[in-house]
Amino acid sequence: MRKYPMAALLLAVMIGGTGCSNTGSDQTDTAEPPEVATLRSDAPSVAPSVSPADERPRERLDDTEEDAKARARPYEKCMADHGVDIHRERAGGTTSGRIGKANKACENLLPLPPWELDPANPEARDFARDVVACLKEKGVRYVEVNPDGPGWSFGGEQNDAESISKGMRFSPECEREVAAKRK
């Protein structure tokens, strides 16, 4: 069976061609069936493994505040459509009740963290380690990689205000520097 590209099929339909067939008396029962355009292929039909997480929007390290807000709007709207104003009543990690139901319905719209910080990224801890090194170079005394996942924390056990302040100020810069070196 001959395969035709989708564009050719659409063009044929748009210009009024619906296909041709030979209806004359010269057809016999032993003749091969006429060639018909098809969308099937001879390749095995295996659906790609796409998880809902693959369809979710993803934050970026270079996002501006406006970018982040714009990316979050569809999720916020979905939650509002399900009766939840996340700015007033959403408790982090709530998985039951009205908020849990709304969150389940809208979770495919909730932006994922930047890939560099995503726990699903096998290199995220290396990225965090490099950011911590950058922060230390910039004078953040108390900063360490989180032991339970990608990311870092400032202040140490002393809750050092200067380290927290510098860490907050320099983290975006270090994240961009480290990401640029890895490309």
pLDDT, tens digit, for every residue of 72-92?
999 999 999 999 888 877 555
What pLDDT shows up at residue 67? Answer: 95
Instruction: Look up residue 52 and give its two tokens.
Output: 């809902």
Q: Using pLDDT thresholds of 50, 70 and 90, give the confidence band for residue 54.
A: low
What pLDDT shows up at residue 48? Answer: 37
What pLDDT shows up at residue 25? Answer: 43
- Give mean pLDDT, residues 139-144: 96
Instruction: Look up residue 67 and give its two tokens.
Output: 């970018």
- Give mean pLDDT, residues 90-111: 80
What pLDDT shows up at residue 100? Answer: 86
Whether 144 shows a pLDDT value over 70: the answer reads yes
